[in-house]
Structure 1
Amino acid sequence: MTSRNTVRIAAICCALTVGLTSVAACNRDGGDSGGVKVGLITKTDTNPFFVKIREAAKKEAEAKGANLVALAGKFDGDNEGQVAAIENLVSQGVKGILITPNSSSGILAAIKKARDAGVIVIALDTATDPENAVDATFATDNKEAGRLQGAWVKGALAGKAPKLLMLDGTPGGTVDTFRHQGFLEGIGLTENSPEVAGKENTNGDQTKAQTAMENLLQRVPDANSLYTINEPAAAGGYEAAKKAGKAGQLVIGSVDGSCTGVRNVKAGIIGATVLQFPAKMAEQGVDAVVAFAQNGTKPSGFTNTGSQLVTDKPVAGVPSKDTAWGEQNCWG
């Protein structure tokens, strides 16, 4: 990682750079309004999911008269960058930090230091391991989201035995683990089931997913189903399958709920996706930090911000909404 850059505070926006990709939200009045300072650290600043979290957090902070400083890792999995971001936010005097951890366990020491310094820390989207390493978590029930994806894929196979490929995310992340486990539960398989024909990690990146899928299809050309950690991975997997002339043989499920993902469901690129509500995570996180700063109230435990299967090909026993609903409720 590059060395820590100098903090610069401009008249319009606070720009903070710590050798990782960073974005700082503007104060409502264009300067330091003296309001509560809230830190936000996302996995990256390019994935539409995290862009939505940042936008929603900024809007909610402005509505509460708070100041948001938002940072992001260089890539999905950049734990070192997030550790540096926590240290810098604490030095900036934030009252609370909202974080989507790149590593659910690797970030724990930095979180403990922040909490020991009196800073409230709230996980968004991705739980820490253990979960009580933070004050609270606002997130999708990712095991349930994975289970919904798996149950739909099982139904869409219409009685055919699965020959399953899995495009996973980043090792060590609770989101990745929970979705993977939930999917297997939903489709009725275990980790060692012979029907699980191949797995690759993608870091949730479309380009990496396409390369991974190309490799998987070379080994398992007759695969008939595909689990994906998120919609960029699904898009990459589909492109690889399309180039190999095998897209038509695959039932593809995913999780996210971006407007691009919902459009891909509508176009038949993804069979179904599980929509999440990142704005709720951000809004509730900001509100909790402001409440803590105002009266010392601390949130605790896990708050499920909800999920919904979206598909135009419903299957029996799996509640779903169509893409018209999805287009009205998607993000990004």
Structure 2
Amino acid sequence: MSVPTRARRTLVTSSLGTCLLLGGCAAPWESEPASAVDGRITLGFVNGGSTEFHTCLQESVERTARNNSVGLQTANSRQDAATEVANIERLIARDVDALIVQTVDVNALEGGIAKARAAGVPIFLTSVVPEDTSDVLGAVVVDQKEVGRLDAEWIEKDAAGRQVSVGVIAGAPGAASDVLVEAFTAHLPGNASVVASRPGMYDPVKARTVAAEMIRAQPGLDYAFVANEQMAFAAREAFDAAGGKDVRIVTVNGTDEALAALKDGRFAATVSNSAADTGELAVENVVSLLREEKADKIDKTRVRLVTEDNADTAPLYCPPED
């Protein structure tokens, strides 16, 4: 005999204790209210932005929910922490059984945490996870420390002991980008100096401006580490326009467009991590954990360094719809 959804929530929250709330969104709701779904789990997915990563992640969450007969409501925070909190409140009010959250800012959610605690809504995270995981239902994360390490170690190998300069174009401060950049800079060799570091906010227009200013200030720049490939393409254009064609770009994601850029020399290296895998694991693991079935509380999306030499064997970043 199946356990009613409301009873499952009580069971899960009592075993987990207080839930940690990270994330939120503000786009219109895309599915029916939870109250209209009888006898099945309904999840809320609060996405953090509209980059290719976020878009592919959402497509994967929606597809996996549909394939598993799970109700789903989605919204988008557009990189705004205040909007996150407001939309968390809205999702809680829709009586979802759990929230999957791709957060914007892990430090700006105290109010939302309190509301989730009072409502007994379990939280499942993507991309980041707190050191103390006792207050979350679970997480699927890209190991940002590993991603940063792989890109930094590629520079170490490529520089081969030469004194080199490195520029950093980060994402949005306050979440996964901070972890990524810190790991990257920590693993750079002593012969590599970070001469500039600014956020690109996961916005190609902003990243283009940052890159143009960076190459003007550092005309001899050797490498640029860019926190995602959409920004990296914009940075490439800005570097080339300002005479910085020799700047070698290392980046993150492993999209089809980036693999082509590795082959033609626009990028030097990237670290692949499938957004589709992250979304699929998130939905499947949440459902299993709510039903008290076997699942890893903290799961990881596979990461892999990709260069021109192995671009043909890189995993698909965002497989097409079925």
What band does the TM-score fall into relative to the shorter chain?
Answer: 0.7 to 0.9
Residue pair 1:264, 1:270 contacting (<8 A) in 2 also: yes
Residue of 248, 251, 273 corresponding to 1:251: 248
How far off is 1:80 after superposition? 1.1
2:164 is paired with a residue whose SS is: coil
TM-score normalised according to structure 2 size: 0.83
Partner of 1:236: 234
Query: CA 1:106/1:300 → structure 2, altered by over 3 Å: closer, same or farther?
Result: farther
Residue pair 2:249, 2:269 contacting (<8 A) in 1 also: yes
Partner of 2:9: none
Q: Report whether the alignment pairs 1:62 with 2:49.
A: no
Cα deviation code 1:114-160 (max 9, x no counterpart):
14312110110133576555332211110000110111122222332
How far off is 1:270 after superposition? 1.1
1:203 is paired with a residue whose SS is: coil
2:279 is matched by which residue type in structure 1?
A
2:275 is matched by which residue type in structure 1?
P
Query: CA 1:139/1:99 → structure 2, altered by over 3 Å: closer, same or farther?
Result: same
Residue pair 2:52, 2:230 contacting (<8 A) in 1 also: no
1:308 is matched by which residue type in structure 2?
R
Output the CA distance in 1 between the equivalents of 2:110 and 2:125: 11
Which region of structure 1 is more displaced relative to structure 2, 212-221 or 194-203?
A: 194-203
2:308 is paired with a residue whose SS is: coil
Residue of 100, 103, 125 corresponding to 1:101: 103
Aligned identity (percent) is 22
Q: Report whether the alignment pairs 1:40 with 2:45.
A: yes
Residue of 258, 279, 283 corresponding to 1:282: 279
Residue pair 1:39, 1:96 contacting (<8 A) in 2 also: yes
**Runs of 5+ in structure 2 lacking a partner?**
1-23
Residue pair 1:101, 1:107 contacting (<8 A) in 2 also: no
Which region of structure 1 is more displaced relative to structure 2, 144-153 or 301-310?
A: 301-310
Query: CA 1:194/1:331 → structure 2, altered by over 3 Å: closer, same or farther?
Result: closer
Partner of 1:309: 305
- Write out aligned runs for 1:97-136 (5 A): 97-128=99-130, 133-136=135-138
Partner of 2:77: 73
2:305 is paired with a residue whose SS is: strand
Cα deviation code 1:70-89 (max 9, x no counterpart):
11112x3x111111111111
Partner of 1:13: none
User: How many equivalent residue pairs?
Assistant: 294
2:238 is paired with a residue whose SS is: helix
Residue pair 2:25, 2:84 contacting (<8 A) in 1 also: no
Output the CA distance in 2 between the equivalents of 1:55 and 1:64: 14
Output the CA distance in 2 between the equivalents of 1:92 and 1:21: 15
Residue pair 2:142, 2:301 contacting (<8 A) in 1 also: yes
1:258 is matched by which residue type in structure 2?
T
**RMSD over equivalenced CA pairs, Å:** 2.5
Partner of 1:263: 260
Output the CA distance in 2 between the equivalents of 1:283 and 1:179: 22
TM-score normalised according to structure 1 size: 0.81
